Chains A and B, each alone.
Chain A
C-alpha cells in the first residue's frame, strides 16, 4: 500500500485536488471562488494527463535533427498536446464565467450565493 503510494503519488495528489475543486464548487458561497474551484478541478485533470504521459528516464518528445537518432526514450507527446488544447478551452470557459459573474454583480450588487437567493426571492 505504502509502496503503491510512493510510486503513484501523482495520481493520489490529482484526486485530492479534484476533491478540493469539487468541494469549493459545492460548499463555497462566493461565486468567484466557485469559478476558482472549477479551474482547480480542471487543472487537476490536466496534471493527471501529464503524469500519465511520463516515461521513466524519458526526455521531452523532441525529434533530433540527426537522421538516425538510434533508440530514444521520450515521454508520450499525445497527452501533452491534449492538455494544451484543454488549457485553451478552460481559459475560454473561465473568461465567460467571470464575465457572467461581473454581470451578476452589476445587477444584484452581491457575489454571495445565499444573498443572491434572498434578493431573487424578494423580486
Chain B
C-alpha cells in the first residue's frame, strides 16, 4: 500500500482525533484550542493538496478499503476528481475561517473541539464510498453543526439549533430509510457495487429502487434546504455566532448537496434519472421553485445575514435543478456552482461579521454609507455580491453559464428562464445593499449605539465601535475570498477539464 492510499483515512481520522486535544490540553493551558485547530486544518489542506496532485496529475482515483475488507463487505474511502475538489474546498474554508475566529469568534477550547469534529464529519461525507457510512457522517456533521450554532451567546441560538436538529434529524432519517430500501433491492451498501447492481434490478425490485430514490431526495432536500423544507436555514445562519456562519454557510449544505449529487449520479446513475418517469422532472421542479421562492424571500429581508441565508436557498435551488437536467454540462455547472457559491458565501458572511464587529451594523439600512467608513470591506463585499449575481469575470458566472447551457442542451426552456429570472432577483437584493453602501450617506443619528449584549466577551461596551477589533486576518480572509472568486472566474475551462473524467464515467 503506497502512502497516498492513506491520505483519505488521515483526512477523516486526524481532525476527529485532534478534536479531543483542545479539551485535554485545555486542562493545563488556557487558549490552546485555536492553535490546535489552525495546525490541524492547515495540515489537512496540505494533505488534500497532495492528494489533488495525485488525483488530477496522474488521473488515478485513490481508494482505500478500511481494514482491508473486500469491497462488497467493507467500507471504502474514495478520492476521485469530484470528491477531491470538494475536499479542497472544505479544508481550505475550514483553515481560512480560523483567521476570523482568532479574535472575533466564539472563544473557549470546547468551541474548537466542535470545529474540528465538524471538519472531520464534512471530510468523511466527502470521501466515503458507502451509502450507510454516508448517513453516519451526515449525522456527525449535523451534531457538529448544532453544537456550533448553539455556541452563540444569546438564547435565540439555542432555539435555532433545536429547530435545525429536529428537521436535520428527520432529513437524515429519511435518507436512512431510502438506504434501507436500496439494501432490500440489492443486498449491498457499497456505492460502486450498487451502481453495477441497480440497472439489473427488475420487477418488484424496481419499485423498491424508486421508493429509495424518493426518500433519499426528500431527505437531502431538508439537508440542502430546498423550499418548502428550508425553514431551519435562515434561523440557523442568523443566530449562529458571526465567526461560525461563514463556515456553516460555505460548507454544511454544500457538502450535503455534493452528497446528493454523488448518490444520484454514482449510485442511481444518469440512466435511472432519465428513464424513471417524473424523477428528473420532480428534481428540476423542486430546484426551480426554490430558486424563485428563495430569492423573492431574500429581497424582502431587513437583516443582512437573513437575506444572505435566503439567497443560499435560491442558489442551492439552482444546483438541484442542474442535477435534474441530467446533462454533462449541467452536472459540471452544478459542481462549479457548489464550489463557487461556497467560497462566495464564506467571504460574504465573513464580511458581514467584520462589519458588525467594527460598526455594529446588522440591517440593510444600517449599511448606509459603509463604503466611506470601511472601504476595504465594502469593496470586497461588492466583488462577492457581483459574483453572487453572476456577472463575469467571476466564478458565479461560470457556474450559472454551464447550468444555463445544460438547460438549453436538455431543451428545458422553463429552467433557462428561471436561471435568467434568478439573476434578476439576485441583482435586486444585491443592488439594494450596494446602493446603501455607496450612495446613501450615513445619517448621524443612525450611528448604531452599541447594545449591552456586545460586551459579553468581557470587553467594555464601547469596544463595539473600535476598528482595532478588526484584525488584519479578518480583512485578509474577506479580501482573499474576493480575489479567489474573481480568479476562479477565469478558470471555467480548467474546471471542465478536471471534472471531465468523472462526468464521462457517469454518462457512459
Cβ B176 vs Cβ A100 within 8 A? no
How many residues of chain A are within 8 Å of chain B by beta carbon? 31
User: Is B429 in the interface zone, CB < 8 Å from A?
Assistant: no
Residues of chain A within 8 A (CB-CB) of B162 are: 31, 97, 100-101, 104
Beta-carbon nearest neighbor of A93 in chain B: B169
Query: A68-123: which residues lie under 8 A (CB-CB) from chain B?
Result: 78-79, 82, 85-86, 89, 92-93, 96-97, 100-101, 103-104, 107-108, 116, 120
Determine whether the beta carbon of B136 is less than 8 Å from that of A89.
yes
Interface presence of B146 (CB below 8 A)? yes
Within 8 A of A (CB), among B155-169: 155-156, 158-159, 161-162, 165-166, 169
A84 CA to B147 CA, complexed, in Å: 24
On whether A103 and B158 interact (CB within 8 A), knowing A41-B173, A96-B147, the answer reads: yes
Q: Does B279 contact A (CB under 8 A)?
A: no
Known contacts A22-B170, A96-B143, A97-B165: does B159 contact A79 (CB below 8 Å)? no
Residue of B whose beta carbon sits closest to that of A82: B132
> B residues within 8 A CB of A22?
170
| A1-9, A42-50, A56-64 - the one binding chain B | A42-50
Asked whether any CB of chain B lies closer than 8 Å to the CB of A38, the reply is yes
- Cβ–Cβ contact A100 & B180, under 8 A: no
Indicate if A52 sits at the interface (CB-CB under 8 A).
Answer: yes
Whether, in the assembled complex, B150 has its beta carbon less than 8 Å from a beta carbon of chain A, the answer is: yes
B-side contacts of A101, CB under 8 Å: 162
Q: Is the CB of B173 within 8 A of A45?
A: yes
With A22-B170, A103-B150, A116-B159 given, is the CB distance from A52 to B184 under 8 Å?
yes
* Chain B residues whose CB sits within 8 angstroms of the CB of A107 once the complex forms: 155, 158
Min Cβ gap A114→B in Å is: 13
Q: Which of B135, B155, B166, B173 contacts A104 (CB 8 A)?
A: B155
Give Cα A79 to B179, complex, Å. 11
Give the CA-CA distance A116 to B183 in the complex, in Å: 42
A97 near B166 with CB under 8 A, answer yes
Considering only residues 383-403 of chain B, those with a C-beta below 8 Å from chain A are none
Q: Is the CB of A89 within 8 A of B139?
A: yes
- A41-B173, A100-B158, A116-B159 in contact; A93/B180 too (CB < 8 A)? no
A residues in contact with B173, CB < 8 Å = 41-42, 45
B476 to chain A, nearest CB (A): 34
Contact of A38 among B146, B169, B180 (CB under 8 A): B169
Whether A96 contacts B165 by the Cβ 8 Å rule is yes
User: Given A89-B136, A89-B139, are A120 and B184 also a contact pair (CB < 8 Å)?
Assistant: no
Chain A residues, CB < 8 A from B264: none
B191 in contact (CB, < 8 A): no
Please, how many angstroms separate the alpha-carbon atoms of A35 and B169 in the complex? Answer: 10
Kindly identify which residue among A38, A42, A92, A120 contacts B159, using a CB–CB cutoff of 8 Å: A120
- The one of B150, B158, B159, B180 in contact with A49, judged by C-beta atoms closer than 8 angstroms, is B180
- B residues 170-214 near A (Cβ < 8 Å) are 170, 173, 176-177, 180, 183-184, 189
Contacting residue for A100 out of B150, B170, B189, CB 8 A: B150
**Chain A hits for B135, CB < 8 A:** 86
Contacting residue for B165 out of A45, A82, A100, A108, CB 8 A: A100
C-alpha gap A45/B172 in the complex (Å):
11
Output the nearest chain A residue to B73 by Cβ-Cβ distance: A78
A-B pair count, CB < 8 Å, reads 73
Contacts of A116 in B (CB 8 A): 159
Please tell me if the beta carbons of A100 and B177 are within 8 angstroms of each other in the complex: no
Minimum C-beta distance from B99 to chain A (A): 28
Per-residue CB contact flags for chain A residues 1-43 toward chain B (1 = under 8 Å, else 0) read 0000000000000000010001001000001001100100110
Report Cα–Cα, A18/B165, bound state, in Å. Answer: 18
CB distance from A115 to the nearest CB of B (A): 12
**Cα distance A38–B169 when bound, in Å?**
7
- B176 — nearest CB in chain A belongs to which residue? A45
CA gap between A25 and B163 in the complex, in Å: 11
Q: B169 contacts which chain A residues (CB < 8 A)? A: 38, 41-42, 93, 97
Interchain CA distance A38-B168 in the complex, whole Å: 10
Q: Give, as a whole number of angstroms, the nearest-CB distance from B186 to chain A.
A: 12
Determine if A45 and B180 form an interchain contact, defined as CB atoms under 8 angstroms apart: yes
Residues of A within 8 A of B147 (CB): 96
Chain B residue nearest to A53 in the complex (CB): B183
Task: Name A95's closest neighbour in chain B (CB-CB).
Answer: B143
A45 to B175 alpha-carbon distance, docked (Å): 11
In angstroms, Cα B156 to Cα A107, docked, is 9
Contact A108 B155 (CB under 8 A): yes
Residues of A within 8 A of B165 (CB): 93, 96-97, 100
Q: Which residue of B lies closest to A15 (CB)?
A: B177
Q: Which of B313-358 contact A (CB under 8 A)?
A: none
- Which A residues are in CB contact (< 8 Å) with B189? 78
Task: Evaluate contact between A38 and B155: CB separation under 8 angstroms.
Answer: no
Is there contact, CB below 8 Å, between B184 and A45? no
Interface-centre pick from B140, B150, B166, B177 (highest chain A CB count, 10 A): B166
The 14 sampled A-B contact pairs (Cβ below 8 Å) are A18-B177, A31-B162, A38-B166, A41-B170, A48-B180, A79-B180, A89-B136, A92-B139, A92-B143, A93-B143, A100-B162, A100-B165, A103-B150, A120-B156
New contact pairs (8) apart from A92-B139, A107-B155, A120-B159, CB-CB < 8 Å: A25-B170, A34-B166, A38-B170, A41-B169, A78-B189, A82-B132, A104-B162, A108-B155
Q: List residues of chain A with CB under 8 Å of any chain B CB.
A: 18, 22, 25, 31, 34-35, 38, 41-42, 45, 48-49, 52, 78-79, 82, 85-86, 89, 92-93, 96-97, 100-101, 103-104, 107-108, 116, 120
